[in-house]
């Protein structure tokens, strides 16, 4: 059986990456537009006097979009928006009375300014424009800034640019890499700073997001894509091989894992992987990912496969089994779950509904992927009447005494002193 363990990143390489990104972020923070331009020249080999994409360039991208391409983008946009809208509808404000004169609750407030990073290095990814901008728009974010690296022509890929506009971006910038994240976080003369940055990117982008986190919010620190498939003897080996390679072709660091109870299926899948690599256009990348990070693991029972999947906590988890519903209660850690043989990860990559910005590297154990709720802040409130304050004050005073915080004690005691006649009497001043 093929069982290849993915190598761990070398600490020295990670330290070097962090140092490079730290210098870029600091430079953009201090020198702003000048640094942004220089780093775009250095890393993207493009000299842009300004990163701003004007209305005329957006209109040209939209006008040059073939009708069929526009229809596909709008179709995907509307499906993503429909799902995000359903998620938004599941969230509600709260306003309840816990006792006489004691009302508490929360409001749902959208983040005021969000930056959506759309990758564009090796190939255009208009789907990432839709997957990041649309949920922000549905959440009611009043200012959505989107950016993507320049292509060979010196601007954003026209289909990606059109997708940004169709998704609802208010501002669009041609910039990428760590310098783009720094510009969004700290602002420059041309780029207004945002409050939150979302979207996938290469390791420089991820490291820059890590370094600016705290100055701005971020969605997550996503690494190379991952897929894990649990399969039994009923699975189609051709589809299994295709699903594994569909993720492997993303990046040489992509991880593809098959967990199966059928040893013969495992052997056949390995054969089909080799066959499909023979005619896959991105075979070089897919083969490097498969040989470096691919695994086919035979287990005795499906319950064991579920336990291994939970330990892996993959970005994408597919169930190619005869009765997937029996396994769902056993699965506790994944970015997104694809239930049944027809439900390939590829549909989630583009337009099934949920966003494809998902946790990787085992982080699905404690975090979720991007969703409409990311763009909403749950802001609680307290509304007390004099009666309500009087009801809470005695116990609050006692808790303040236990913690040794006399200022807290006094702030609560004063509310008792102002209670109207007939209210709860408090201790006399100096009676502690």
Active site residues: 315-316
Dihedral pair phi/psi, residue 254, rounded to 5°? -60, 150
DSSP 373: G
Burial 332-347 (b: 16+ CB within 10 A, else e): ebbbbbbeebebbbbe
Pairwise CA distance, residues 409 & 125, whole Å: 57
Pairwise CA distance, residues 334 & 118, whole Å: 23
Residue 326: strand, helix, or coil: helix
- Give burial (CB, 10 Å; 0-12/13-18/19+) of 109: middle
Beta-sheet strand order (sheet of 226-231)? 294-298, 255-260, 226-231, 316-320, 336-339
Longest Cα–Cα distance of the chain, Å, equals 88
Pairwise CA distance, residues 229 & 257, whole Å: 6
Q: Residues near 90 by Cβ (< 8 Å), separated by ≥ 6?
A: none
Pairwise CA distance, residues 242 & 258, whole Å: 12
Strands 255-260 and 294-298: parallel
Pairwise CA distance, residues 91 & 372, whole Å: 10
What is the per-residue DSSP string for 228-275? EEEE-TTS-HHHHHHHHHHHHTT-TT-EEEEEES-HHHHHHHHHHHHH
Pairwise CA distance, residues 147 & 170, whole Å: 11
First-residue to last-residue Cα distance in the chain:
75
Pairwise CA distance, residues 110 & 377, whole Å: 6
């Amino acid at each position: 059986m093929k069982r290849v363990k993915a190598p761990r990143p070398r600490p020295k390489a990670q330290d070097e990456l962090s140092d490079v990104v730290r210098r870029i972020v600091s430079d953009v923070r201090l020198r702003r537009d000048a640094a942004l331009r220089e780093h775009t020249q250095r890393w993207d080999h493009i000299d842009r006097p300004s990163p701003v994409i004007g209305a005329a360039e957006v209109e040209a991208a939209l006008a040059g979009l073939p009708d069929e391409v526009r229809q596909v983008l709008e179709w995907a946009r509307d499906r993503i928006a429909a799902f995000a809208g359903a998620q938004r509808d599941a969230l509600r404000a709260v306003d309840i009375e816990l006792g006489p004169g004691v009302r508490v609750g929360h409001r749902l407030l959208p983040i005021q300014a969000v930056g959506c990073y759309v990758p564009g290095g090796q190939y255009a990814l208009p789907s990432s424009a839709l997957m990041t901008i649309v949920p922000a728009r549905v959440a009611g974010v009043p200012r959505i800034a989107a950016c993507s690296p320049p292509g060979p022509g010196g601007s954003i890929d026209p289909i990606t640019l059109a997708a940004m506009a169709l998704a609802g971006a208010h501002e669009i910038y041609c910039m990428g890499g760590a310098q783009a994240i720094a510009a969004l976080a700290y602002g420059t003369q041309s780029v207004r700073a945002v409050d939150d940055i979302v979207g996938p990117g290469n390791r420089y982008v991820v490291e820059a997001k890590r370094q600016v986190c705290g100055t701005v919010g971020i969605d997550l620190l996503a690494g190379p894509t991952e897929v894990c498939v649990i399969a039994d003897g009923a699975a189609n080996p051709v589809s299994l091989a295709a699903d594994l390679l569909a993720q492997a072709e993303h990046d040489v660091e992509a991880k593809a894992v098959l967990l199966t109870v059928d040893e013969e299926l495992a052997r056949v899948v390995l054969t089909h992987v080799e066959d499909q690599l023979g005619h896959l256009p991105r075979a070089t990348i897919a083969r490097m990912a498969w040989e470096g990070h691919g695994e086919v693991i035979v287990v005795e029972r499906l319950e064991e496969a579920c336990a291994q999947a939970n330990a892996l906590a993959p970005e994408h988890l597919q169930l190619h089994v005869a009765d997937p519903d029996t396994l769902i209660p056993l699965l506790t850690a994944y970015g997104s779950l694809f239930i049944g043989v027809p439900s390939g990860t590829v549909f989630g990559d583009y337009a099934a509904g949920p966003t494809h910005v998902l946790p990787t590297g085992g982080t699905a154990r404690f975090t979720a992927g991007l969703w409409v709720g990311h763009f909403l802040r749950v802001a609680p409130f307290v509304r007390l009447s004099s009666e309500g304050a009087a009801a809470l004050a005695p116990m609050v005073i006692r808790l303040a005494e236990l913690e040794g915080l006399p200022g807290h004690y006094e702030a609560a005691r004063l509310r008792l002193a102002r209670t109207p006649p007939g209210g709860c009497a408090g201790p006399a001043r100096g009676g502690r």
